[in-house]
Structure 1
Amino acid sequence: MFRGVHAINMDAKGRMAMPTKYRDGLKNSDDGQLIATIDIQTRCLLIYPLSVWEDIEQKLQKLPSLNASTRRLQRLMLGYASELELDGNGRVLLPAALREYAGLEKKVVLVGQGGKFELWNDEQWAAETAQAIEDANSGDLDVPDDIQNLVF
């Protein structure tokens, strides 16, 4: 289970260190194998353990490819999917195309989302969270009915 917001520095080659608390779990469950792809709704990356991604990939491939919207989704999510591997220092190398898509530079933010991570440019993350908080405070945040019934 991935949770929390982690500020990380990425080096000039596009390598970033995974937070220490996740390294052993990722190495034990998936031999340090990850998949990164683009988020088609926002300019960030989605990073999955390989085993989680394989389930998603199978579901995407089973969708009817004659539907134009489905085909576009498959093209983007599967097409940009890139294999990552934790090195001996707990780092992953992010491909240039993915870094460019998400506007990733030196300062990035890794956000735990349960079974996956989101990886953001730090300035875009700050803007996204500020907008979400503003929307929530103004009543403009569209909260689905099933979430409104949760007790916190």
Structure 2
Amino acid sequence: MFQGSHSITMDAKGRIAIPAKQRECFMALSNGQLVMTAHTENRCILIYPENEWEQIRPQIEALPTFNKHALRVQRLLLGNATSLELDSNGRVLVPPTLRTYARLDKNLMLVGLGKKLELWSEEAWFKSVVNAELDDDAPPPELLTLSL
């Protein structure tokens, strides 16, 4: 579904224009309805077609609330989830709370990750992803089986 990275800009009102290919996916999958929420590990925003979000949400709601890690995930994902709709020009308003959370300014990166998109500040994208040093954590076994 969603792939590729796009350098985009946010206007003074906090709106972004979704590139044509991604816009077509949103229209086909959810009639232009989407959900934005906070990423739990990185200072970026997750963007799901609404129907994809509705499949994930029950799993998040079912997490044990007496576990501090699970509760943090619920608070970030559910507490920041905002249902939105693409306007006739393919634009969407990024909620102010999410703009603050992800430290978004004018220059952004929109990155396709299959069933969802990530929205990053351009500066954070290059610092945290493109130019990041990998830590000493071992890669997951599934990654070791991948051949490109």
TM-score category, normalised to shorter length: over 0.9
1:64 maps to which residue? 64
Structure 1: stretches of 5+ with no match in the other structure: none
SS at match of 1:66: coil
Letter paired with 1:39 = H
2:143 maps to which residue? 147
Deviations 1:4-57 (A, max 9, x none): 110001100010000111212211220101101111111001110001111111
1:114 maps to which residue? 114
| 2:9 counterpart of 1:13 | no
SS at match of 2:108: strand
- How far does residue 141 in structure 1 lie from its aligned partner after superposition? 6.2
Aligned 8 A contact 2:2 2:25 in 1: no
How does 1:34-113 map onto structure 2 within 5 Å? Answer: 34-113=34-113
Return the TM-score normalized by structure 2.
0.93
Deviations 1:81-133 (A, max 9, x none): 011210000001011010011011110000001100010000010112101xx
In structure 2, distance between residues paired with 1:66 and 1:35: 26
Letter paired with 2:28 = N
- How far does residue 67 in structure 1 lie from its aligned partner after superposition? 2.5
In structure 1, distance between residues paired with 2:38 and 2:96: 12
Return the TM-score normalized by structure 1.
0.91
SS at match of 2:71: helix
SS at match of 1:151: coil
Runs of 4+ in 1 over 3 A off after TM superposition: 139-142
- How far does residue 150 in structure 1 lie from its aligned partner after superposition? 1.4
Give the alignment's Cα RMSD to 1 decimal.
1.4
- How far does residue 75 in structure 1 lie from its aligned partner after superposition? 1.5
Question: How many residues matched?
Answer: 147
Letter paired with 2:125 = W
Letter paired with 2:121 = N
